[in-house]
Structure 1
Amino acid sequence: MTAAASRTARLTPTVLLSLALVYVVWGSTYFGIKVAIGSLPPLGMLAVRFLLAGALLYAFLRWRGAPAPTVQEWRSSAAVGLLLLGGGTGLVTLAERDASSSVAAMVLAVSPLFAALFARLWGERTGGREWLGIGVGLLGIALLNIGELHATPLAAFLLILAPLCWTFGSQWSRHLPLPGGLMGSAAEMLAGGLILLLLSLGLGERWGTPTAASLWALAYLTVFGSLVAYSAYMYLVAHTRPALATSYAYVNPVVAVLLGVGLGGEHLTGLGWAALGVILTGVVLVAWPRREGASGTQASA
């Protein structure tokens, strides 16, 4: 049985729980990042976040008797960590210096489209309803960007590059020899955190005196954004089709906008609120389970 065939099209309780965690928690991390980098260096903050989360998860799993990753698995984990955590999360964090948390989440909603395109490199297919859902979701993102939330050209470029790195790394990870279960998440966070630390040192980032708000945000990002939601996402990557695994990118803007407007003083026009309904329609089209006998289910389930 191929890797594609082993992934389910059914919304099992575990899949639903993982989706809920990724939808809600990652939607809130955009605002959390904005607060954290208020007094912490962007890449250095991420390095601490992922090294702490990875070390805690790794120590717990080893205590429970999980085998340590092999040399080959560490290499694969480093590649995935570089693309997802360095290129994906790292570029988003750098962009949020000059962009609102709402804009960051909205631009990243192109992730399902990139995921579907990259999945085809490995022979996986995307169904017609999924393409329709992706198109509807992107229409909602276009409507949101007509509003009053804007980013600088550099920040916009970083926000486009980030999902390219993230989705390519996600699809490639399905075909790499990674540690099994949660040990894969731990190894990727440790490797990615180390890469981010080296980048922070190489770029000469300086640490000042952090505010209490930044430290609380860092703690939230470490526990919920990394330990909980990242592990849930990697489960989805391994067990569901690409469009469903990345459908969080349509819900995250809803959560991010609500937090940005409610707590961060960001502004959203009436057109933007209407666009959120379009985005949620795209989510339903992407996430709705296929019929078991539908053409192409085995290739992309």
Structure 2
Amino acid sequence: LALRVGVTHFPAFLFSAVRQTIAGILLVGIALIWGKERLSFEKGAMRYVVPGILMISLGNGLVGWAQQYIPSGLAALICSIMPVWVVIINLSASRDDRPNWQIALGLALGCAGMVVVFRENVADLANWDYVFGIVLTFVATLSWALGSIYAKQKPGNSGLLANAGLQLFFGGLGLFGFSWAFDDFNKWHGLVDEGVWALAYLVIFGSIGAFAAFSYALSKLPVGLVSIYAYINPLVAVFLGWLILSEKFNPAVLVALVLTVGGVFVVNKGYRAMRYP
């Protein structure tokens, strides 16, 4: 929701670039000063650049671009398929944290919850801008899944917060390149209070807080389990989009809630079975 507000008042890629670069610098500073961590490029800068580009430049940046064309709730719902990409990629690669059938079933239930709400927007598919926004969001989810798996398999050897901060920073730099290539600055009329507040909120909570928590979970848990956060976000986004931006809200969301929570429960049960057979 805050991202939708932000890209309404800023060029989309510029908004994400400023947000992620500032968040990356602040998080690295926190890691060095309060966390007593260190920066290390012993394993190469690509350990930070690749996940930064995949998750931040493409994963986050494309979602911001897409929200010029589709509602924030729908974007979040499409993002909930990200765990499905993780399952498909893991099954193809045969990694050690390969999901069992219970995890796969839970992910399927979560996707079913997304479909229940998504079907309400079928009539809008006649609008090509709308379709473009949907395609961008699907590509973003795949990119985020790939970045998550890469970060899990090839972590940087700085501290946890420093790793996350460097990924945000390099991802933000990539977004400046996208901004130069794709943003239309002729439509930007300068800073607006709502846009600045959205930027500040996302820097603190959406990037520093949420991405640091995601990176911590990724370092401790299988990617398939970490990715289930994507099922809760859509329901919150749909509700807030209805409350604040007058986006669609109907009883189908309640059905989606049951399917989503059920999916999370089954995934957790599958993970426990995998860890403690």
| AA in 2 matched with 1:139 | A
| AA in 2 matched with 1:198 | G
Contact 2:31 2:159 survives alignment (8 Å): no
Match of 1:269 in 2: 250
| AA in 2 matched with 1:43 | F
Contact 1:243 1:287 survives alignment (8 Å): no
Match of 1:143 in 2: 116
Contact 2:4 2:72 survives alignment (8 Å): yes
Rate the CA distance shift 1:290–1:44 in 2: closer, same or farther, 3 A. Answer: closer
Q: 1:14-53 residue pairs with structure 2 within 5 A? A: 31-53=1-23
Contact 1:147 1:272 survives alignment (8 Å): no
Rate the CA distance shift 1:62–1:272 in 2: closer, same or farther, 3 A. Answer: closer
Match of 1:130 in 2: 103
Rate the CA distance shift 1:126–1:200 in 2: closer, same or farther, 3 A. Answer: same
- Whether 2:208 is the aligned partner of 1:208: answer no
Contact 2:13 2:183 survives alignment (8 Å): no
| AA in 2 matched with 1:111 | M
| AA in 1 matched with 2:80 | A
Q: 1:115-264 residue pairs with structure 2 within 5 A? A: 115-120=86-91, 121-123=93-95, 124-148=97-121, 150=124, 152-178=130-156, 179-206=158-185, 207-264=188-245
- CA positional deviation for 1:241: 1.8
- CA positional deviation for 1:138: 1.2
Moved more, 147-156 or 274-283: 147-156
- CA positional deviation for 1:62: 2.4
Contact 2:161 2:212 survives alignment (8 Å): yes
| AA in 2 matched with 1:284 | F
Identical-pair percentage: 27
Paired residue total = 266
Q: Write out per-residue CA displacement over residues 53-77 of structure 1, whole angstroms, 9 at most, x where no aligned residue.
A: 1111212322344222216442221
Please give the TM-score of this superposition, normalised by the length of structure 2.
0.90
- Structure 2: distance between partners of 1:280 and 1:204: 38
- CA positional deviation for 1:115: 1.0
Match of 1:81 in 2: 52
Find the partner of 1:58 among 9, 25, 28.
Answer: 28
Going by fraction, where is helix more abundant, 1 or 2?
A: 2
- CA positional deviation for 1:143: 1.0
- CA positional deviation for 1:205: 4.0
> Which segments of 5 or more consecutive residues in structure 1 lack a partner in the other structure?
1-30
- Whether 2:275 is the aligned partner of 1:297: answer yes
- Structure 2: distance between partners of 1:67 and 1:217: 31
Moved more, 139-148 or 210-219: 139-148
Q: Write out per-residue CA displacement over residues 157-206 of structure 1, whole angstroms, 9 at most, x where no aligned residue.
A: 11111110000110111121413311100110111111111221233542
- Structure 1: distance between partners of 2:184 and 2:170: 20
- Whether 2:85 is the aligned partner of 1:107: answer no
Moved more, 235-244 or 204-213: 204-213
- Structure 1: distance between partners of 2:80 and 2:183: 31
> Which segments of 5 or more consecutive residues in structure 2 lack a partner in the other structure?
none
Moved more, 233-242 or 117-126: 117-126
